[in-house]
Chain A
Amino acid sequence: MDKGTDHLIVTESLAKDYFDGGAPVPAVRGIDLTIEAGEFTAIVGPSGSGKTTFLNLISGLDAPTGGKVWLKDKLLSGLSGNELSDFRRDHIGFIFQAYNLIPVLNVRENIEYIMLLQGVPEKERRERVGEILKEIGMAGFERRFPPKISGGQQQRVAIARAMVSRPELILADEPTANLDSGIGAELLDMMRDLNRRTGMTFLFSTHDPMVMDRADRVVTLHDGRVAKDDRRART
């Protein structure tokens, strides 16, 4: 079912309960939120406030126990398992806290992986990998394996992997948590620059003040509800 709006993400009374010994434990309690295309948004809040669960729900990694999510006008609960996989592949890029590159694939193969799933021809894959590596300052690292490069370099590759398929939405979970502040700031600036130039939407789950400082919008969650939604003018 299409929502019929221009918003990138729309949630309506979104709720998720976990069950502990049969008793429901609410993690997200009826969130109504709209994210516009091109936003650079930080979801913040204390541990247990529902940030991760919220990101899982809007990316289709987890199913809500109540409410609805529309992403690019698609009702996620209306998609089958394979359709959800394909939808994530084509429209969402993920950046994880611990980089989570596949250690047995080299830099090129890690970045190529999603394009392979998409069936992008080899020539185009090579060109796009070359371009994005240049963009993130990692040209010449194609054949290196993740354990042989630094944490900051791994996170750059993870960003490249998330962006190479040109998704509309990038979900980043604490992307700077394992990096020193200098490298973290550098990567955040790089992501904000990419956001400005490409129009890709970035949605962060974070505790990091550096992310909040750079965000156009900061949504604060508390006990699974939106406690504050602070929009800022773009700098």
Chain B
Amino acid sequence: MTLMLRLAWRNLFRNKRRTLIAGTAIAIGLAALIFTDALIRGMKSQMIASATAAFIGEGQIHRRGFRLTQEVDLTIEDPASVMAKLEQEDAVGAFAPRTLSFGMVTSPANVRSAMVVGIDPGNEPSLSRVDDCVREGDFFEGSNERDLVIGSGLADLLEVGLGDRVVITVSQAGTGDLSQDMFRVSGVYSYGVKEMDEGFAFVRLAKAQDMLGIGANIHQIALKFEDIDFATREGNPFWEAYSAGGNEAVSWAVLLPQLEGILGLVWISLAFMAVILFGIVAFGIINTLFMSLYERMFEFGVLRAVGTRPSGVRRLIVYEAGALALLSIAMGTVLGFVLTYAVTRTGLDYRGIELAGTAFYDLLYPVLQARQFVIYPLAVLAFTMLMGLYPAHVAGKMKVAEALRKSL
């Protein structure tokens, strides 16, 4: 009934200050939800970009079983033809062939195990950010086949610096014989993630292939797509197409299940925050509606006396809660947009902070989406009207004669 709606809307402004206070509380809650949602989306993009751009890539191709065993014998089947095919893929922005093997890195002072990664210095910078993180020396700029780039943590553990010599020992494919060679530290990178800084040693691809005795074979092709969402697009045939002939192609979501888990936890924490926030706001809403109800008890008595059914009075209270919600939504969406938009311009500085094995290397920018201005306002409307049900129930049960006692 439109008169009931008009009545509810106008009643909202009978005590402007109280309505403004209650509406502001709800609006702040809504704005906080919009902002947090946008921040988490920004964080998600940043974490994925950070994790994939560091070294892993947005997808990888291996020989089936390699991911689990890291056996040096498990090289990619027909890598030349796989890479030729990748060259033709529009969706693939870049790819880099690699060898991977556990090895011992020995310095005069110490010995550490590390993942020895053979890379093509021409391709690798388009895939990983290790070259960007070199803080001493360079990233294979010369042509010395014995150049070695290691993380700052590994350098500290081995007590070596730029120009120092170390010996790398790996197990060869097929025979399992040990193969040793001497390298000179030509670059030291600092990525900011302990595992990356302490556990990796980069050498040239050809040198690694030679040490491992695998000829021109490789263990991994790291992939970068033109659109990062391509990797996790549902039903994407890419992965199946490259998981043929004994190889296996997987996206970052498979390679980094912990990242998905962390993001899931972040969303759960948003849900908890929303529950706590709106739990507090709920009392404000109920209090406002009850104050309004008790102040106008006589008026409700009049409405009942002239023939309004209890359900009509209940409906009026719920409409009033809805009107309060609409007002709050108007304020909250504006506040949420302004706040979030302002931060999308300035960014938040979380650079260098590590979370779930990834480090933020850029400013964190919230991601505004239209759905934030649809889902959360609708949730606030539903929640506020739900909170109105209790005062509405009380109003519906009022005894008319008691409400009118002062008059009739």
Distance of A116 Cα from B298 Cα, bound (Å): 21
Chain B residues with CB under 8 A of A118? 307
Q: A117 contacts B312, CB within 8 Å?
A: yes
Selecting from A54-62, A128-136, A182-190, A210-218, the interface stretch reads: A54-62
Q: A85 contacts B308, CB within 8 Å?
A: yes
Chain B residues with CB under 8 A of A102? 7, 299, 302-303
B68 within 8 A of A: no
Question: Shortest CB–CB separation between residue A12 and chain B, in angstroms?
Answer: 20
Residue ID in chain B nearest A82 by CB atoms: B309
| Residue from the list B3, B307, B400 in contact with A89, Cβ < 8 A | B307
Cβ proximity bits A197-217 to B, threshold 8 Å, 1 near / 0 not: 000000001000000000000
A88 with B3: in contact, given A56-B401, A100-B302, A104-B11 (CB under 8 Å)? no
Chain B residues with CB under 8 A of A89? 306-308
Cβ proximity bits A73-117 to B, threshold 8 Å, 1 near / 0 not: 000000001100110111001101110101111000100111011
| Residue from the list A61, A93, A161 in contact with B404, Cβ < 8 A | A61
A171 within 8 A of B: yes
Chain A residues with CB under 8 A of B303? 102
Q: A161 contacts B401, CB within 8 Å?
A: no
Chain B residues with CB under 8 A of A173? 407-408
A52 within 8 A of B: yes
Chain A residues with CB under 8 A of B299? 100, 102
Supply 10 A–B pairs (Cβ within 8 Å), ascending by A.
A56-B404, A62-B399, A85-B309, A88-B306, A89-B307, A100-B302, A105-B10, A113-B306, A114-B307, A171-B408
Q: A109 contacts B3, CB within 8 Å?
A: yes
Chain A residues with CB under 8 A of B135? none
Chain B residues with CB under 8 A of A81? 309-310
Residue ID in chain A nearest B397 by CB atoms: A81
Q: Which of B287-331 contact A (CB under 8 A)?
A: 298-299, 302-312
B6 within 8 A of A: yes
B370 within 8 A of A: no
Q: A116 contacts B1, CB within 8 Å?
A: yes
B345 within 8 A of A: no
Chain A residues with CB under 8 A of B312? 117
Q: A56 contacts B307, CB within 8 Å?
A: no
Distance of A166 Cα from B57 Cα, bound (Å): 81
Residue ID in chain A nearest B3 by CB atoms: A116
B14 within 8 A of A: yes
| Residue from the list A82, A96, A114 in contact with B407, Cβ < 8 A | A96
Chain A residues with CB under 8 A of B405? 52
Chain A residues with CB under 8 A of B3? 105, 109, 112-113, 116
Q: Which of B1-36 contact A (CB under 8 A)?
A: 1, 3, 6-7, 10-11, 14
Residue ID in chain B nearest A95 by CB atoms: B408
Distance of A82 Cα from B310 Cα, bound (Å): 7
Chain B residues with CB under 8 A of A105? 3, 6-7, 10
| Residue from the list A62, A86, A98 in contact with B307, Cβ < 8 A | A86
Distance of A174 Cα from B404 Cα, bound (Å): 13
A88 with B407: in contact, given A61-B400, A100-B299 (CB under 8 Å)? no
Distance of A112 Cα from B306 Cα, bound (Å): 12
Distance of A52 Cα from B405 Cα, bound (Å): 8
Q: B304 contacts A85, CB within 8 Å?
A: yes
Residue ID in chain B nearest A105 by CB atoms: B7
Distance of A214 Cα from B309 Cα, bound (Å): 35
Question: Shortest CB–CB separation between residue B289 and chain A, in angstroms?
Answer: 16
Question: Shortest CB–CB separation between residue A123 and chain B, in angstroms?
Answer: 16
Chain A residues with CB under 8 A of B307? 85-86, 88-90, 114, 117-118
Q: A104 contacts B14, CB within 8 Å?
A: yes
Distance of A161 Cα from B309 Cα, bound (Å): 18
Residue ID in chain B nearest A117 by CB atoms: B307
A94 with B309: in contact, given A104-B10, A116-B3 (CB under 8 Å)? no
Q: A86 contacts B11, CB within 8 Å?
A: no
A94 with B302: in contact, given A52-B408, A100-B407 (CB under 8 Å)? yes
Chain A residues with CB under 8 A of B10? 104-105
Question: Shortest CB–CB separation between residue B108 and chain A, in angstroms?
Answer: 89
Q: A55 contacts B408, CB within 8 Å?
A: yes
Residue ID in chain B nearest A118 by CB atoms: B307
Chain B residues with CB under 8 A of A100? 298-299, 302, 407
Q: Apart from A96-B404, A171-B408, what 7 extra A-B contacts exist at CB < 8 Å?
A: A61-B305, A82-B311, A88-B306, A96-B302, A105-B3, A112-B3, A113-B306
Residue ID in chain A nearest B311 by CB atoms: A82
| Residue from the list A85, A94, A112 in contact with B310, Cβ < 8 A | A85
Q: A94 contacts B14, CB within 8 Å?
A: no
Residue ID in chain B nearest A109 by CB atoms: B3
Question: Shortest CB–CB separation between residue A212 and chain B, in angstroms?
Answer: 19
Question: Shortest CB–CB separation between residue A167 and chain B, in angstroms?
Answer: 10
Question: Shortest CB–CB separation between residue A70 and chain B, in angstroms?
Answer: 19
Chain B residues with CB under 8 A of A171? 408
Q: Select the residue from A86, A88, A161, A171 with max chain B CB neighbours within 10 A.
A: A88
Distance of A56 Cα from B403 Cα, bound (Å): 12
Distance of A88 Cα from B400 Cα, bound (Å): 12
Chain A residues with CB under 8 A of B304? 85
Q: Which of A148-179 contact B (CB under 8 A)?
A: 161, 171, 173-174
Question: Shortest CB–CB separation between residue A143 and chain B, in angstroms?
Answer: 13
A86 with B306: in contact, given A52-B408, A97-B407, A105-B7 (CB under 8 Å)? no
Q: Select the residue from A85, A116, A173 with max chain B CB neighbours within 10 A.
A: A85
Cβ proximity bits B368-404 to A, threshold 8 Å, 1 near / 0 not: 0000000000000000000000000000000111001
Q: B401 contacts A94, CB within 8 Å?
A: no
Q: Select the residue from B299, B311, B400 with max chain A CB neighbours within 10 A.
A: B400
